[in-house]
């Protein structure tokens, strides 16, 4: 039996919120994600989709349960090891995990492709081609802090798609700022990465991403209207 790329074993997460006492952001959740497979995380706003994604890449730790990456107890590793895994093995586009300010959009896309800082012509062409496919080539040489929220998200997506090292790709609402043609290009690129053996975890309401794989529906948060 092969080890799943990602496994959630009864993972829950609560937050202490001064006003509301304890908020259960994610109820105990279990699933496995194999190599080359996609899991779409569905559910209404507040159901815990972004929390689940943050747990999957070790940006948050579970209140109970365990997250395993290739069978290893990822959620028990110390932060520096989780950060190294995010750099080397994961490709993450989530809210709050921002681009590097002071650098241009193009430099940000090149960052995970050329960790030693020496961009080859091929890497640069690949980065430029992804910025173009996502419609942000006109801001390639702008510092990212000057871009709009939507532009920043597309640059982050270009960064995730341009680097080919990722074993697990984690995307939060990736088509939120994309038109139909760019969403089609995104789906095609993700399909290629799945065929190459990467795994994909994606929070989305977008039916245009349905063809990528199976889904996990999170129930509405208790007390939500
Ligand atoms: P979704 O992405 O499905 O809209 P989230 O995972 O962002 O849902 O949030 C789930 C619930 O957890 C919401 O009620 C949200 O307010 C709460 N929550 C998320 N992060 C925090 C936090 N850092 N502190 C307090 N509550 C939080
Ligand atoms: Mg969310």
Residue of 20, 48, 202 best suited for mutating to test ligand 1, as the one with most atoms within 8 Å of CB = 48
Residue 150, in any domain of the structure: yes
Residue 29, in any domain of the structure: yes
Q: For position 185, which CATH number holds?
A: 3.40.50.300
Give the helix, strand, coil percentages of the chain, each rounded to 5: 35, 25, 40
Please write the tens of the pLDDT for every residue from 126-146: 999 999 999 999 999 999 999
DSSP H helices, 35-148, are 49-56, 79-89, 105-110, 121-133
pLDDT band at 223 (very low <50, low <70, confident <90, very high): low
Provide the b/e sequence for 74-102 (b: ≥16 CB within 10 Å).
bbebeeeebeebbeebbbbbbeeeebeee
Q: Atom 21, ligand 1: which residue's CA is nearest?
A: 15
Number of domains forming the structure of the chain:
1
Residue of 16, 46, 170, 203 best suited for mutating to test ligand 1, as the one with most atoms within 8 Å of CB = 46
CB 142 within 8 A of CB 104: yes
Residue 146, in any domain of the structure: yes
Residues of the domain holding 20: 6-215
Residue 194, in any domain of the structure: yes
Residue 224, in any domain of the structure: no
Q: Which atom of ligand 1 is nearest to the CA of 43?
A: 3
Q: Atom 16, ligand 1: which residue's CA is nearest?
A: 46
Residue 98, in any domain of the structure: yes
pLDDT at site 114: 76
Supply 8's token pair. 């959630």
pLDDT at site 97: 66
pLDDT at site 42: 96
């Amino acid at each position: 039996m092969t080890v799943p790329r990602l496994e959630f074993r009864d993972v829950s997460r609560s937050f202490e919120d001064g006003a509301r006492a304890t908020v259960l952001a994610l109820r105990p959740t279990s699933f496995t994600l194999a190599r080359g497979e996609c899991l779409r995380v569905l559910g209404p706003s507040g159901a815990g989709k972004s929390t689940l994604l943050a747990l999957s890449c070790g940006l948050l730790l579970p209140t109970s349960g365990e997250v395993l990456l290739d069978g290893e107890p990822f959620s028990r590793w110390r932060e520096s090891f989780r950060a190294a895994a995010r750099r080397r093995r994961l490709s993450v586009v989530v809210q709050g995990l921002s681009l590097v300010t002071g650098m241009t959009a193009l430099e940000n896309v090149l960052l995970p492709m050329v960790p030693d800082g020496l961009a080859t012509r091929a890497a640069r062409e690949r980065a430029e081609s992804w910025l173009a496919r996502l419609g942000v080539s006109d801001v390639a040489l702008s510092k990212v802090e000057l871009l709009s929220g939507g532009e920043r998200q597309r640059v982050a997506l270009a960064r995730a798609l341009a680097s080919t090292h990722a074993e697990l790709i984690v995307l939060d609402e990736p088509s939120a700022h994309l038109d139909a043609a760019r969403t089609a290009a995104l789906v095609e690129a993700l399909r290629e990465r799945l065929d190459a053996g990467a795994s994909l975890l994606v929070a989305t309401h977008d039916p245009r991403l349905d063809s990528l794989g199976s889904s996990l529906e999170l129930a509405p948060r208790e007390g939500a209207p």
